[in-house]
Chain A
Amino acid sequence: MASSSTSNVYVHVIEDVINKVREEFINNGGPGEAVLAELQGLWELKMMQSGAILGPIDRSAGLKTATGAPITPNPVHDLNVPYDGTEEYETPTADLLFPPTPLPGMVLTPLHGVARTPLPGTDGSSLFDDSVGGTAITANEFSSSNNNGGVPDIKTGVGRPNPYMQPPSSWLNQRPPLDVNVAYVEGREDVERGSSRQPATQDFLVSSGKRKRGDFPAQYHAGGYIPQQDGAADFLSDVPKVVQGSVQQTLSRIPQLDGPIPDPYDDVLSTPNIYNYQGVVNEDYNIVNTPAPNDMQAATPAPVQNDIVDDDDDEPLNEDDDDELDDVDQGEDLNTMHLVLAQFDKVTRTKSRWKCMLKDGIMHINNKDILFNKVSFSVLLLSFPFRPYLHLRLSLVLVWRINLRYFESYSGNRRIRILILMV
């Protein structure tokens, strides 16, 4: 139910809209006054049904509009008057004016409008589609090289039934190490790939320090590969191998360095331990210069690594990991209960106290619509155990989510995970 004042404003808005679009309806071969009246009637009917407009007020308001057609509580019937038949939907005029285009476009348009407020999911998924297409070629390259290599541990290649794995393994070749051993970087660049790719790598190195939101798509589309964001230690562990062994074999032997596969529940089991092991190495940044990774890489014996897999008891990151916040979010969306739509003038925060000035808003609270001209609200941040780090925690979760959206195909975000744990 709505209060009478809210109802009045709603009636006012309806009238205002109807009056202002009247011209469009009548001129330029528009559908005419009758359709407009039907629009108004239906709209008001729905409003009454939802309880947002109080019935009697609406009726009087409808009469006040003086459109010539009196509005009754069931206006659809009234609107038939200008037409001869009751089947107004099938009048030839309508068919002429509106060839059978509208359905798909129309149904989408208003919804798009509604979704203008940011919906990360939308962007993310579309980008993800792109990413799959974009990396397809390199993925093939990789697999062919893997076959030709005839490397002893080819099992690693075979054990990848999941196409998700391919993109990471392809751009992995171009992934620069993020830190520590610059000498290795250059050596690797010389050996593994032409100097032509070096600029891209360096771009990435520069931008990886401070990453803007826009960087993801740009880098991705420009380079055709996705830069590794989640830690380079695993790569460093490979470098010595390049020095030691033949380049080709090394290349083909490293299909995926960044942890288990995106669909962990299916794939972790079927994927040989080498990935997992390297994942563990990734997490320990101190281990980079120790000989241990070299040894492991050189031998690549599967059985040995099984032990290590066992102690990789971290379950891989999932979309559901972040958790309590989302639960609340979804709850909100599902119930669509209490919602405030407004414009903000000012949002300030002092420590954990937020103060916001909003204006021109609509609240839908307890099934009641309340309009307001101004609202101030001050809220206290819920106390978290580590409150000072809350921002960091949130932003990390955000970063991780962005990562996941854009780079759905890999899930080795272990570095972020570690940071979160540390926080």
Chain B
Amino acid sequence: MTTFELYRRSTIGMCLTETLDQMVSGGILSPELAIQVLIQFDKSMTEALETEVKSKVSIKGHLHTYRFCDNVWTFILQNAQLKSDEGQETVDSVKIVACDSKLLTQ
């Protein structure tokens, strides 16, 4: 099964990575196992986002940069408004990184 390593850059992913790093360098975890945990995280995170999360968000803003490379879209938006169920956020600039969802179904 294909997984995206994309979500490792999120807060939860970074926390896991740090933890694993710490444990591996402490010698209590083998690198191989750590990688397996990361892969499992990729799967679980993807799955959880599919099944557990229902909220919708809309973003509007000025597109400053767009880039499509290796099936990854990167956008940099300026003066973006993000509306979600929980309210509205406005940010000066936001970077959006998106992988192709079709790759997962292959």
- Which residues does A use to contact B, with CB under 8 Å? 2-3, 5, 8-10, 12-14, 16-17, 20-21, 24-25, 30-31, 35, 38-39, 42-43, 46-47, 50, 52, 88-89, 94-95, 97-98, 100-103, 105-107, 109-111, 113-114, 116-118, 120, 325, 328-329, 331-332, 337-345, 347, 354, 356, 358-366, 368-382
Contacts and interface: CB of A to CB of B under 8 A. Distances in A.
B52 to A, nearest CB: 5
Interface string B11-48: 11101111111111111111101111110110111111
Contact of A117 (B76, B93, B97): B97
B53 A382 contact: no
Given A340-B95, A358-B96, 16 more contacts: A16-B48, A31-B33, A98-B30, A106-B20, A111-B17, A114-B8, A342-B96, A343-B4, A360-B50, A370-B82, A372-B55, A375-B58, A375-B59, A376-B59, A377-B61, A381-B62
Contacts of B35: 109-110
Contact of A52 (B11, B60, B92): B11
B98 A30 contact: no
Contacts of A103: 24-25
A379 B80 CA distance: 9
A362 B96 CA distance: 10
18 contacts: A8-B52, A9-B52, A10-B12, A24-B33, A110-B20, A328-B64, A328-B93, A331-B93, A341-B9, A356-B75, A360-B101, A361-B49, A361-B57, A362-B10, A370-B55, A372-B53, A377-B58, A379-B77
B9 A43 contact: no
Interface in B51-76: 52-66, 68-70, 72-76
Contacts, number: 280
B21 A360 contact: no
B59 to A, nearest CB: 3
A379 B59 CA distance: 8
B25 A106 contact: yes
Interface string B72-106: 11111110101010100101111111111100100
A331 B33 CA distance: 35
Contacts of A378: 59-60
A17 B40 contact: yes
Given A12-B52, A43-B15, A21 B40 contact: yes
A25 B100 contact: no
A43 B29 contact: no
Nearest to A381: B63
A42 B19 contact: yes
A241 to B, nearest CB: 42
Nearest to B101: A343
A340 B21 contact: no
A349 to B, nearest CB: 9
A362 B93 CA distance: 16
B105 to A, nearest CB: 10
Contacts of B23: 35, 38-39, 42
A31 B30 contact: yes
Given A9-B48, A354-B63, A373-B53, A339 B20 contact: no
A89 B27 contact: yes
Contact of A358 (B8, B37, B98): B98
